[in-house]
Each structure stands twice: as C-alpha cells, then as structure tokens.
Chains A and B, each alone.
Chain A
C-alpha cells in the first residue's frame, strides 16, 4: 500500500526532527524548570499555625512513612527531610521546615518522579492533606 509506505517514511523523517525539537543541549536541564519560581513556591509551600519545629519535622517523617517512603535523611537544625518511594517508579522528595513570622511554620516540598520534576499542584495538595492529618492542623496557602 503506497499510502501506508509514505506515511511510514514521513514518521521516519519526522522522528529526528521532533526529538531534536525537545532538547538540543542536555546541560540546559541544570537550570530548567517548567513553572516560574513564584508559581512553584505557591504550589509547594503551606504554612501551619505552630512554632514547634521538631514536631513538624517528625510529622513530615511520619507522613513520608504513611505514604510508603523510606526516609533518606533528616536534619532538625536545618529542618530538612528527604525520602524515596519505590513502587515500580522512583519518587524522591525533599521537605524543608522553617519558621514563618512569629506564629507559623512554613513547610515546602519538592519532588521528582522518575526523571521528571513534579510541578503539578495536585500531588502537593495530596501530600499536604496527608501532612495536615498528621499535624492535626490546617495547611494554609501562602502568597
């Protein structure tokens, strides 16, 4: 079938072009993001009405474990927690906990899913919903 054959030819011709359009220099990945800094921070950050940093860090760890992560590292002074979830895929996540004003604690999370940064709002909403339950506190959006 000549029509089919020419279609195949087109795909073959198209393939290198299309792939080339994606990435010409993989070093660009170092500074590449798919959302602005402001957007990303809004999606990834919530404020809790507590000043107890240790408790917050421990609750982040508990939430990680609830979600099936193995915790890789935790540092109470810096307020950082990192974890990995392996379930046919690899999700790596880091959470930072720091004081916000005099009455609140800000929690920021960022994650990668296999080779892709997680920048969609929904996964973070799920994460903070789980953290809320562990904290017995509401996760307030920050601006």
Chain B
C-alpha cells in the first residue's frame, strides 16, 4: 500500500518537474556525424563577390517558389521566408477513412483525422568566402491536422529538395546577371 502510494506520488510529481529532458536538449545543440553531410547538401558556392546580387537572386527564387519574405538582414546576409500550403496526402486520407469504416463496421465510433495544412519556413544565408559567395539554406515545416492541432514539426532533410532549390538559384543568378 505504502509502496504503491510512493510510486504513484513519484509519478505524479515527476510530471510537474522542470522536465528532465536534459539528454534531448543536449542532443539538440550538439554537432553530429551527419552535420558535415548536411552542410554539404544545404550549401552551394557561387563564383562572385557581389553579396547583394546573390541575395537579390535568392529573393527572386523564393518568390518564384511562392514564398513570402518575412525578414531580411543585408549586413548578415539573411533572408527568411515562409508559405502556407496544402498538406493533404491521398494515402493518409484513404487509410484514415478505411480505418474509420472498419471501426464503424464493428460498431465503434470513428473519428478520422488527417494532416490538412502546413507552413513551410526557409532561411537563406549568404556568406562571403574567398573570391566567392557561399549560400546555405535550411528548411522546416509545421503541419496541422483536420482538428487544427499541430500534428508534426520537422526539418526537411531530403538532399534532392535542396539540390532543386539550388538549381533554381543558379538559374536565378544567371537571370539576374543578365537582367531578364
């Protein structure tokens, strides 16, 4: 009896402590073995010393992709942008509806939920390097479900997406340079 009381109170009180997520917090701010690989695919080098033109070209690409620019800082080479988009995925909807139908068929009450919209955030940072400009991009997104709850928050870590972004940037740099 006493033991179960002790265990119960420990459990309950642990809930209000300042959350011993130390381990996780530490991992958040530590460089990992993936850091270098990530740095490589999120970075591209452009042979120019003109930072403003690279920043302008980056703003152009962001607009091309439908982003709105939230913040810019010329002195530090920063552009921040975001866009809100549809996040509905057919597979998820089908799965949820199938599950709901199954539950209903068994006499249960089903409440299908799927991911509905997302906010995509991107920061583009330019940095002067020897005789060149280095551009680095990080992208993340927040997803809301059909109940308006945030269902997922994540970093975009697909190299292909970055590759495509930089291809567009390379094109934009070319376009800016030639004023088309």
Say yes or no: is B42 at the interface (Cβ < 8 Å to chain A).
Answer: yes
Q: For residue A18, which residues in chain B have a CB less than 8 angstroms away from its CB?
A: 9, 12-13, 15-16
Q: Mark B65-102, 1 if CB is under 8 A from A, else 0.
A: 00000110101111010000000000000000000000
Instruction: Determine the distance from Cα of A126 to Cα of B39 in the docked complex, in whole angstroms.
Output: 18
Say yes or no: is B161 at the interface (Cβ < 8 Å to chain A).
Answer: no
Q: For residue B139, which residues in chain A have a CB less than 8 angstroms away from its CB?
A: 70
B144 to chain A, nearest CB (A): 13
B140 and A65: CB pair below 8 A? no
Residue of B nearest to A10 (CB): B5
**B interface, by DSSP: helix, strand, loop or mixed?**
mixed
Say yes or no: is A69 at the interface (Cβ < 8 Å to chain B).
Answer: yes
Instruction: Determine the distance from Cα of A96 to Cα of B38 in the docked complex, in whole angstroms.
Output: 25
Instruction: Determine the distance from Cα of A69 to Cα of B4 in the docked complex, in whole angstroms.
Output: 43
Q: For residue A66, which residues in chain B have a CB less than 8 angstroms away from its CB?
A: 31, 35, 38-39
B28 and A123: CB pair below 8 A? yes
Say yes or no: is B55 at the interface (Cβ < 8 Å to chain A).
Answer: no
B16 and A113: CB pair below 8 A? no
Residue of A nearest to B5 (CB): A10
Known contacts: A76-B75, A89-B153. The answer to whether A129 contacts B22 by CB under 8 A is no
Say yes or no: is B29 at the interface (Cβ < 8 Å to chain A).
Answer: yes
Say yes or no: is B116 at the interface (Cβ < 8 Å to chain A).
Answer: no
Most chain B beta-carbon contacts within 10 A, residue among A70, A85, A122: A70
Known contacts: A70-B122, A76-B76, A87-B154. The answer to whether A113 contacts B12 by CB under 8 A is no
Known contacts: A11-B12, A70-B138, A116-B19. The answer to whether A85 contacts B155 by CB under 8 A is yes
Residue of B nearest to A77 (CB): B75
B141 and A61: CB pair below 8 A? no
A72 and B80: CB pair below 8 A? yes
A127 and B29: CB pair below 8 A? yes
B139 to chain A, nearest CB (A): 7
The contact of A71 among B22, B138, B141, B155, by CB within 8 Å, is B138
Say yes or no: is B142 at the interface (Cβ < 8 Å to chain A).
Answer: yes
Known contacts: A65-B125, A84-B140, A86-B142. The answer to whether A74 contacts B76 by CB under 8 A is yes
Total chain B interface residues with beta-carbon distance under 8 A: 47
Residue of B nearest to A18 (CB): B12
Instruction: Determine the distance from Cα of A34 to Cα of B1 in the docked complex, in whole angstroms.
Output: 34
Known contacts: A61-B125, A126-B26, A130-B30. The answer to whether A68 contacts B138 by CB under 8 A is yes
B154 and A88: CB pair below 8 A? yes
Q: For residue A83, which residues in chain B have a CB less than 8 angstroms away from its CB?
A: 123
Say yes or no: is A41 at the interface (Cβ < 8 Å to chain B).
Answer: no
Say yes or no: is A38 at the interface (Cβ < 8 Å to chain B).
Answer: no
Which B residues fall within an 8 A CB radius of A?
1, 4-5, 8-9, 12-13, 15-16, 18-19, 21-22, 24-26, 28-31, 35, 38-39, 42, 70-71, 73, 75-78, 80, 121-123, 125, 127, 136, 138-142, 153-155, 157
Top 4 closest pairs, chain A to chain B, by CB: A22-B16, A76-B75, A86-B153, A7-B4
6 example contacts (A-B, Cβ-Cβ < 8 A) are as follows: A66-B35, A70-B139, A72-B123, A75-B76, A116-B18, A116-B19
